[in-house]
Structures are given as structure tokens and as C-alpha cells.
Structure 1
Amino acid sequence: MESFVIDSIDLRLLQALQDDASRTNQQLAALVHVSPPTCLRRVQKLRAAGLIEREVALLSPDRLAPLLGHGLQAVVEVSMDRQDAQSLDAFEARVVEDDAVQQCYRVSPGPDFVLIVGARDMPDYLALAQRLFTQDANVRNVKAFFSLKRAKFQPRLPLPAAVP
């Protein structure tokens, strides 16, 4: 793999894209003080290097609620009976394929996994729990925490202003 060197312009581009990836190339170039061709070339290079994994639209749950219902958001801790690599990998592979699982983290110490899941309502969550946890003989304990209010949601990586 080709070595990749990141500089302060790249960091500014990444930061600006984390803030709002819908900006045009011209807007992004003006924001980080580079020419549009330089901006485009650098963003393409960042994508090719895999530093920009993907770009998505973040939907507003509050504005969608009148149309679709509020739904349930839960943080779920899962502890396994066996923690060997094969057992953990098998559980992880199964849960990441489920559309209700929005995020999956293998953690330590404490539970083996922390999941962020979404469900339409409590019966939908029950179906998810049956599907992912109850039918898995290796799941020892599940603890779900249901979100009452989302105070902050900012899916971004903290970036330095300059390369150390």
C-alpha cells in the first residue's frame, strides 16, 4: 500500500466534510482556502486512501416522528458465555447484518458488546431480542437501556488543527 502523508489542509478538509458533506466543491475550497481543483484532487485522494469511509445523510428523528412514529432507541449490553475469538466473531457477524443494529462495539471490561439498536415499538424490540439474543445459546446476559431523550448526536472524529 502506498504511504499516505496528511497535512493541515487535509485535516481542514476532513473537518469541514464532517461538519457538512453536502457542500459543493467550490464551497469546500473557499472554506479551507484552496483552489477548487486542489480541493477536488485532495478529497479524491482522501477517499482513495480510505480516510473518508462513506458519506451519509443524517435524518432528524424529531421531524420524522410525526410521519413515522417515535420508535425506540436502545443501548444494549451483551455478555457472552464464551469469549473465544470464534464465538465473539460469530455473534458480531450475525448482529451487524441485522438492520435494527445501528452500531456495534466489542468492548472491555464489562460486557462483551455494546449495541445501539432501533425498533418501531416494544413488540418490534421484543422480536429483535428474540432474533439476536434469546436464540443464541452463547448469550449469557442482555441489559437494555431505552433512550428517553437524545441530548447530543455528533458522529465525528476529533481532529487536530495541525499534524503533530
Structure 2
Amino acid sequence: MISNNTLGLDAIDLRILDQLQRDASLTNQALAASVHVSPATCMRRVRKLVEAKVIERQVAILSAERLGAGLTAIVEVTLDAQSADHLQAFETRVSNAAEVQQCYRVSSGPDFVMILQVVDMAAYQGLAHRLFAGDANVRNVRTFFSVKRSKFSPAISLPSATA
């Protein structure tokens, strides 16, 4: 759960954020009605949240399976050299691959954990060869393949949005 004190978010802001992370396609009129404010107030607050970078962007969440990219791989990568330059170079290179949906630098274990979305095993093997096998600094790659997605939600737990 995030703290709303540092950003000065009030109950209306939290209700707006809650609604938008459920359905960002709402019109301003519908959003305003659902959070019980005027459309002008709602638009002003959404603009403020965007300018403060609380709302980073609005996207559509697509069905990987229906679009033929049904293989999800969770990949751990350990590098030989972990200097800031080596970490940044690897991070930049893998982040440029469209199949890399998420990339995290982590501590106490591998250097990176990534979520990859590919068409099939052959596509994964090609991507792994391109991203990992060709990099002399990659010491170890450990991959887990999803057999079932039990939950997927990009929503952030917000403080109570009531009041």
C-alpha cells in the first residue's frame, strides 16, 4: 500500500486513481460521475496527477494468448561483472527487446529478473540466444515457464479511497 501523505493525495484523488486503474477508458464525464465530482474538477485533478507523474501512462492490456504470444517466461540472469556500467549496459540491451515485458534489477540472488512474452519455445530460444548467449558477461540464466496464470493485475494497492 502506498502512502498518500508525501504526494498530498486526498480521498477524491484516490477514488480517481482507483477508477482509472480499473478502467482507463472511462470518459471524463463517466469518471467524474463515478467519483462524485464535477467533470471540470475531475479533469483538473487528472491533469494534476499526470503532471505529478502519479499517472505514468494509460494503456490497453492485451490478451497474449489471443494474439498468439502465449508463452510466458520468468527469467533470472546473473552477470559475471556487476559494475554500474555492466549492469546498465545489460539492462538497456534487454529493455529494448519488445518481448521483455518487465525487467527488474534485484539483490540477494540473480542480478536481474525479467518477464518475457513470446509466441512459443522456438521464439524463446531465439530470444535467449540473442539476449543471453551472445553476452560474454552473462554467467547464468535460469528460466521458468508459466503453465497457468493465476493472477495478473497491474493495479497498485491504494489507501482507502472512501470519504
**Which structure would you say has the larger RCO, counting Cα contacts within 8 Å and 6 or more residues apart?**
2
Match of 1:21 in 2: 24
TM-score, normalised by the number of residues in structure 1: 0.90
SS at structure 2 position matched to 1:79:
strand
Equivalence for 2:89: 90
Report how many aligned residue pairs link the two structures: 156
1:33 aligns with 2:32: no
What residue in structure 2 maps to residue 57 of structure 1?
Answer: 60
Higher helix share: 1
Asked if the contact 2:69–2:118 (Cα under 8 Å) also holds between the matched residues in 1, the reply is: no
How many angstroms apart in 2 are the aligned matches of 1:4 and 1:108?
A: 28
The correspondence of residues 1-150 of structure 1 with structure 2, limited to 5 A, is 5-62=8-65, 64=66, 68-69=67-68, 71-150=70-149
Amino acid in structure 2 at the alignment position of 1:102: Q
Q: What secondary structure, in the 3-state scheme, does the structure 2 residue paired with 1:55 have?
A: coil
Structure 1 unpaired stretches of 5+? none
Identity over the aligned pairs, expressed in percent?
60
- Taking the aligned partners of 2:128 and 2:68, their CA distance within structure 1 comes to 20
* Superposed CA offset, 1:85-115 (max 9, x none): 1110110010000111010011111111000
Whichever residue aligns with residue 46 of structure 1, its letter is: L
Could you tell me which runs of 5 or more consecutive residues in structure 2 were left unpaired when the two chains were aligned: 1-5
> What one-letter code is carried by the residue in structure 2 that aligns with 1:143?
R
User: TM-score when scaled to structure 2?
Assistant: 0.90
How much is the aligned-residue C-alpha RMSD, in angstroms? 1.5
Cα distance per residue 1:133-152 (max 9 Å; x no partner)? 00111110000000111111
